[in-house]
Amino acid sequence: MSSASGGADLGRGEGTEEQRQRGIWILVAAALAFAVLVLPQVVEGDDRTSFAGSALPDGAAPRLPTSPGGLPSNGPTALPSASLPGYGSGGGGGGGRPAETRAPASPTVAPDPTDEAYRAVSPGDCLAVYDTGDGQYNSRMPVQVACGAGNAFMWVSAVRSSGGACPQGPGQNSMSYTSRGRTTALCLTRKFAVGYCLLAEQTGSGQQARMNAGLMTVVDCDAKRVPARYNRILHITGVYKAPAGASSANCARVQGDRTYYWSWLVNDGRTLLCTMVYQG
């Protein structure tokens, strides 16, 4: 009986030892699994969050981030909280978040289409603008057109800061516009074309007749009424390079022409403008 009992005890002892060893191996395996599966994730997370600090050279002091404009910061409170949301939050004794600073907003200036139109004009451009005979131009806007167009009445010789700086003479004038204290003046030279008409004022008759033409005007040749300051419509019959000693005698279009012409030297005396009273 004792022999059988002893064998049973030995078997239980061996079984207990095997269970203990098996438990140890289970613990070792669990530790290894923890080291392989869990620990690298924790280190990776630590590295990711502390990368800025670990990248500093040995012995170097960490520097605060700069502001968005590239200006170095003297400390967290010198930067707007919107730039560094982690700085300046509430805490004991140190006060709350510093007040945000904002650059003053620039005043909104309404666009001025007329000023823009004037500033878009350059010397050499042509405009569909003319004197109506009522002391004003047909348009306050300098309407640009191709210089070969039928309504290209004016040629811009220069752009100045005041109308007084523009040349003044027969067939020359200016139009200007002032906006926000700045004046843009367009120096105009009339483009004359055969077949067009302009306004004039005649005084006297016969050998005493005088004709004062509005050389910057344009009018319908068949107009039934004219502005009060004028009483004649002149028809342009010729635009010639002015010869030496040019006069109305140079306006004849055919041999023996007996038409009564009125003429002017325009374009600084280089062009002879020939006209006659419009007969319809």
**Domain spans in the chain, listed from the N-terminal domain onward:** 113-190, 197-277
Which pLDDT tens digit goes with each residue over 203-251? Answer: 999 889 999 999 999 999 999 999 999 999 999 999 999 999 999 999 9
Q: How many CA atoms lie within 13 A of 226 on its CB side?
A: 21
Higher pLDDT, 112 or 78: 112
pTM exceeds cut of 0.85: no
Please give the pLDDT value at position 24.
65
Q: How far, in whole angstroms, is CA 182 from its chain's centroid?
A: 18
How far is it, in rounded angstroms, from Cα 160 to Cα 253? Answer: 39
Please give the pLDDT value at position 212.
96
Which pLDDT tens digit goes with each residue over 132-184? Answer: 999 899 999 999 999 999 999 999 999 999 989 999 999 999 999 999 999 99
Give residue 124's identity as a one-letter amino acid code. Answer: G
- Res. 25 pLDDT band, cuts 50 70 90: low
Q: Would you state the torsion angle of the CA atoms of residues 54, 59, 65, 69, taken in this order, to the nearest 10 degrees?
A: -130
Q: Which bin fits 143, alpha (ψ -120 to 50), beta or left (φ > 0)? A: beta
Which pLDDT tens digit goes with each residue over 49-95? Answer: 222 222 333 344 433 333 333 223 333 333 333 333 333 333 334 44
